[in-house]
Amino acid sequence: MRVPKKERQRLLQETIEHNPFIKDEELSKQFSVSIQTIRLDRMELKIPEVRERIKHVASEHLDEVKSLSMSEVIGDMIDLKLDDSAISVLDIEKEHVFSRNEIARGHVLFAQANSLAVALINDELALTTKADIRFSRQVHLGERVVAKARVLKLRGDGRTDVTVESYVGEECVFDGDFTIYRRSEEEQA
Amino acid sequence: MRVPKKERQRLLQETIEHNPFIKDEELSKQFSVSIQTIRLDRMELKIPEVRERIKHVASEHLDEVKSLSMSEVIGDMIDLKLDDSAISVLDIEKEHVFSRNEIARGHVLFAQANSLAVALINDELALTTKADIRFSRQVHLGERVVAKARVLKLRGDGRTDVTVESYVGEECVFDGDFTIYRRSEEEQA
DNA sequence: CTGCTATTAGTACCAGGTATTAAGTTCTTT
DNA sequence: AAAGAACTTAATACCTGGTACTAATAGCAG
């Protein structure tokens, strides 16, 4: 359980890095050393106390605007008819663009379209199996992208063809054909 | 300087909302009341102490940290030969998956592949114009996806064909053919 | 003046530390 | 095996930014 100092300090650094909220007491238990040893280690490694660490994380937060919530549908869903059609809106902000030229990254538009296509499916599980996509015009910082998804065909075998077209104003900026797999419980990515 | 209680509490709420880092002492000075009055106000308004507030801000931050990686190359680039080939590694974590079944979302794999294809291009500007992709097997939480990109053809007109294959171990989980547009300064998304 | 709310004061206590001094405990190295 | 250095633990005083509680006072309406 007990590791040599160098190794412990390496692990300590890692541990704190990935969980800045951890207290000395917990650390001392984790490494089976006294709390004082942990404090000495922190001193040597110049790692501040837990409150300072938390404060730091929090203040970084303040600088940043909203980030991409990769985890949920990207954009705001404004209309949804299951197994039929759906619309979502995404305002292009600076976390979506290349800093050099302020043009939206391809996977942002893809993410909006893909999320929408998946959300459209009226089933427990829906996963994209295939997509053919085209980016027809660049999208700039500040523009509003409206994605429209429509079910083309509900096949018997669990696959559904969905087409998505994304617009900035009147202009089509992206379109794609998706094949989405649905199932009650398992498989396919 | 001294305002009635109701008004003070309204202002207090606002003040704290827009600066969660402020301490009772500072607040008491700002409103020209004693520190105890501030504490009573916080009690009535159910506003927690400063450390808790900071902790809260910081923990919100933690949820978002990971998704920020969306803005840069997704995954860690472990090999890169410009205009030739590149490899990146992405460990699937919980922000990448559907919570229901712990299967990675399609646009995560797409983002990794797309970022890699774009990074591969040895030019100021590189933008995806077209992609045909297939998801051949679902990827689960905790798995490590290795994406390998290879340039197929450098066309004269600024377009480059790149193929990307992503693996978990020996298994191919994703593959796609991308057409990337390059240019010194402007256009195309 | 009485009564009521609002405010202020004071004290004890807590978490999670810092800072310092001192006393072990190991590991080497001779 | 003895000496020394490096490492670890202990003990104590003190700090910040509070909580929780009790009690005293201020200001004003009826």
Give the model's confidence band at B2: pLDDT under 50 very low, under 70 low, under 90 confident, else very high.
confident
Q: How many CB atoms lie within 10 A of CB B161?
A: 16
Per-window interface: B 39-58 vs A, CB < 8 A: 51, 54-55, 57-58
Q: How many CB atoms lie within 10 A of CB A154?
A: 15
Structure confidence at residue B185 (pLDDT): 43
What digits encode the pLDDT tens for the residues B54-95?
988 887 655 444 433 444 557 777 777 888 888 888 888 877
What digits encode the pLDDT tens for the residues A72-91?
447 777 778 888 888 888 98
Q: Which amino acid is at A152?
A: L
Tokens in use for B189?
A: 């998304």
Under 8 Å CB-to-CB from B159, ≥6 apart: which residues? Answer: B129, B179, B180, B181, B182
Give the pairing type, strands B125-135 and B85-91. Answer: unpaired
Structure confidence at residue B75 (pLDDT): 77
What digits encode the pLDDT tens for the residues B92-123?
887 788 767 888 888 889 989 988 898 888 77
Structure confidence at residue A1 (pLDDT): 59
- What are the structural domains, with CATH classification, of chain B? 5-66 (1.10.10.10), 72-183 (3.10.129.10)
Q: Does A40 contact strand C, using a CB cutoff of 7 Å?
A: no
- Contact across the interface for B107 and A109, Cβ inside 8 Å: no
Q: What is the DSSP string of A66-87?
A: ----TTS-SSEEEEEETTTEEE
The CA distance from B136 to B113, in Å, is 14
Protein-contacted positions of strand D (CB under 7 Å): 7-11, 17-19, 21
Higher model confidence: residue A68 or residue B131?
A: B131
The CA distance from A13 to B179, in Å, is 42
Give the model's confidence band at B189: pLDDT under 50 very low, under 70 low, under 90 confident, else very high.
very low
The nucleotide whose C1' lies nearest the CA of A6 is: D7
Structure confidence at residue A70 (pLDDT): 44
The nucleotide whose C1' lies nearest the CA of A27 is: C16
Residue B157 in contact with partner chain A when CB distance is under 8 A: no
Chain A and chain B share a number of CB contacts under 8 A equal to 172
What digits encode the pLDDT tens for the residues B10-60?
999 999 988 899 999 999 999 999 999 999 999 999 999 999 999 888 876
**Which ranges of chain B would DSSP assign to H, the alpha helix?**
5-18, 24-30, 35-45, 50-68, 106-120
* Distance, Å, B43 CA → C12 C1': 20
| E strand segments, chain A | 76-81, 85-91, 125-135, 144-154, 159-168, 171-183
Q: Reply yes or no on whether the pLDDT at B143 is more than 90.
A: yes
pLDDT along chain A (189 residues), means of 10: 85 90 93 94 93 84 40 67 87 79 88 90 83 94 92 89 93 95 56
For A107, which residue in chain B has the nearest alpha carbon?
A: B111
